[in-house]
Amino acid sequence: MTRAVIITAAGRGTRAGGDVPKQWQMLMGKPVLQHTIDAFRAMQMFSQIVVTLHPDDDAFAATLGDGILRVLGADTRAKSVKNALEAIENQGLTSVFIHDGARPFPSRAMIDRLCDALSRYKAAAPALAVTDALWRGEGDHVTGVQDRTGLFRAQTPQAFHFAEILAAHRAHTMDAADDVEVARAMGLEVAIVAGDEENIKITLPGDFLRAERILAQRIKET
- Summarize the confidence of residues 181-207 as an average pLDDT: 97
The domain defined by 3-221 folds into Spore Coat Polysaccharide Biosynthesis Protein SpsA; Chain A (3.90.550)
Q: Residue 90 has what pLDDT?
A: 96
State the pLDDT confidence band at 215, using cuts at 50, 70 and 90. very high
State the pLDDT confidence band at 14, using cuts at 50, 70 and 90. confident
Q: Residue 221 has what pLDDT?
A: 87
7 has which bridge partners? 51, 99
- CA dist 17 and 14 (Å) reads 6
- CA dist 69 and 52 (Å) reads 9
158 has which bridge partners? 98
Q: Does residue 1 have a pLDDT over 80? A: no
- Summarize the confidence of residues 53-69 as an average pLDDT: 91
Q: Does residue 49 have a pLDDT over 80? A: yes
DSSP 8-state assignment for residue 121: -
- CA dist 22 and 33 (Å) reads 9
Annotated domain spans of the chain: 3-221
- CA dist 93 and 1 (Å) reads 8
Q: What percent of the chain has pLDDT over 90?
A: 90
Report the SS3 class of residue 27. strand
pLDDT digits (tens, 9 = 90+) for 137-176: 999 999 999 999 999 999 999 999 999 999 999 999 999 9
Give the lowest-confidence range in 31-35, 44-48, 62-66, 107-111.
62-66
- CA dist 213 and 120 (Å) reads 36
Q: Residue 83 has what pLDDT?
A: 98
φ, ψ for residue 118 (rounded to 5)?
A: -70, -15
As a three-state string, the secondary structure of 173-216 is CCCCCCHHHHHHHCCCCCEEEECCCCCCCCCCCHHHHHHHHHHH
Q: Residue 118 has what pLDDT?
A: 98
- CA dist 129 and 144 (Å) reads 21
Q: Which helix (H) or strand (E) holds 144?
A: strand 141-146
Residues in the chain: 222
pTM value is 0.96
State the pLDDT confidence band at 186, using cuts at 50, 70 and 90. very high
- Please list, residue by residue across 188-207, b when 16 or more beta carbons sit within 10 angstroms of its beta carbon and e when fewer do: bebbebebbebbbbbeeeeb
Q: Residue 220 has what pLDDT?
A: 87
Q: Does residue 219 have a pLDDT over 90? A: no
- CA dist 157 and 179 (Å) reads 10
- CA dist 166 and 109 (Å) reads 26
Query: Do 190 and 2 meet the contact criterion of CB atoms below 8 Å apart?
Result: no
Q: Does residue 222 have a pLDDT over 80? A: no
